[in-house]
């Protein structure tokens, strides 16, 4: 009984210390939770300031490093929205698979890019649908990201994560990293954008992702290379109350066995 009590107290102390460390690192974002319905509401109200109408500079500037001389690469877009990057890659001869919770975002992607498309249910994911263009080189799944897996549509040679890791709930990052790693083929090249700022000043999203945690999430099974780090401060971030805002681009690749 006494030993059990000691073990319980030790466990509570360890959990408490871990929570304190998380709070210290992430400030007011440590326990921030957004429901999927909130993201759908953003799309319904057209509050999509996170959407960019042009191909993202990070992807353009680093596409050669992502492709690494390969042709016809399969790209995965987590939380894809209606990113124009997907059409840009498909037009280059690559194929794209995306996952997005908002049906409106998916339909707008195809319609705004003048693409005919089909929709069909995904038997392995109750309630999910997959939308495909007529060329069959873009497939967008409307479902919870965590319901998706390699058993649904295989693994990928590249992943472009412009606004996904910075959008998910901070407490879900270990689950998210495990999913991403499971979707990476042996030659996968994962391009990731992260944001650095003072999380005590803004609750997010987009959320603060420190380099320390990035290495904790992916470092044991992947190599991580910082490709660029730029001051991305604009009037929008000043409105959020921030004084600094840094955009980092990382290339993450599976370690060779």
Whether 2 has a pLDDT exceeding 60, the answer reads no
User: Which pair of tokens denotes residue 21?
Assistant: 């460390």
Question: 48: pLDDT confidence band, cut at 50, 70 and 90?
Answer: confident
- The residue with tokens 């604009």 is 234
What residue spans define the domains of the chain?
A: 12-254
Beta strands 184-196 and 246-254: pairing type? antiparallel
Q: What distance in Å separates the CA atoms of residue 132 and residue 141, rounded to the nearest whole number?
A: 9
Whether 151 has a pLDDT exceeding 70, the answer reads yes
**CATH 3.30.450.70, applies to 12-254:** no
Whether 126 has a pLDDT exceeding 50, the answer reads yes
- pLDDT the model gives residue 41: 85
User: Of 32 and 184, which is predicted with more confidence?
Assistant: 184
Whether 19 has a pLDDT exceeding 90, the answer reads no
pLDDT (mean) for 82-111: 97
- pLDDT the model gives residue 14: 43
Q: Of 47-51, 83-87, 90-94, 104-108, which gets the smallest average pLDDT?
A: 47-51
Q: What distance in Å separates the CA atoms of residue 149 and residue 247, rounded to the nearest whole number?
A: 28
Whether 163 has a pLDDT exceeding 70, the answer reads yes
Contact 99, 79 (CB under 8 A): yes
Whether 27 has a pLDDT exceeding 80, the answer reads no
pLDDT (mean) for 175-204: 96
Question: 25: pLDDT confidence band, cut at 50, 70 and 90?
Answer: low
Whether 249 has a pLDDT exceeding 50, the answer reads yes
pLDDT (mean) for 55-67: 97
145 CB-side CA count, 13 A:
27
Question: 4: pLDDT confidence band, cut at 50, 70 and 90?
Answer: very low
Whether 252 has a pLDDT exceeding 90, the answer reads yes
């Amino acid at each position: 009984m006494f030993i059990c009590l000691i073990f319980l107290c030790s466990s509570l102390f360890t959990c408490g210390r871990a929570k304190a460390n998380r709070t210290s690192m992430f400030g007011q974002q440590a326990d921030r939770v957004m429901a999927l319905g909130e993201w759908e509401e953003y799309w319904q109200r057209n509050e999509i300031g996170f959407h960019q109408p042009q191909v993202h500079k990070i992807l353009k500037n680093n596409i050669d490093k992502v492709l690494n001389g390969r042709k016809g690469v399969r790209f995965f877009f987590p939380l894809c929205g209606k990113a124009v990057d997907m059409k840009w890659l498909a037009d280059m001869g690559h194929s794209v698979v995306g996952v997005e919770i908002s049906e409106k975002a998916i339909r707008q992607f195809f319609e705004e890019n003048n693409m005919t498309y089909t929709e069909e249910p995904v038997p392995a994911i109750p309630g999910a649908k997959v939308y495909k263009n007529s060329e069959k080189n873009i497939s967008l799944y409307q479902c919870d990201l965590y319901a998706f897996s390699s058993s649904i549509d295989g693994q990928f040679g590249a992943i472009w994560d412009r606004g996904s890791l910075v959008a998910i709930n901070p407490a879900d990052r270990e689950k998210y990293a495990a999913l991403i790693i499971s979707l990476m083929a042996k030659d996968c090249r994962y391009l990731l954008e992260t944001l650095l700022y003072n999380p005590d000043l803004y609750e997010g999203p987009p959320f603060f992702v420190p380099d320390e945690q990035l290495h904790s999430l992916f470092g044991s099974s992947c190599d991580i290379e910082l490709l660029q780090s730029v001051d991305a401060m604009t009037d929008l971030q000043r409105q959020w109350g921030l004084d600094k805002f840094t955009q980092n681009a990382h290339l993450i690749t599976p370690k060779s066995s």
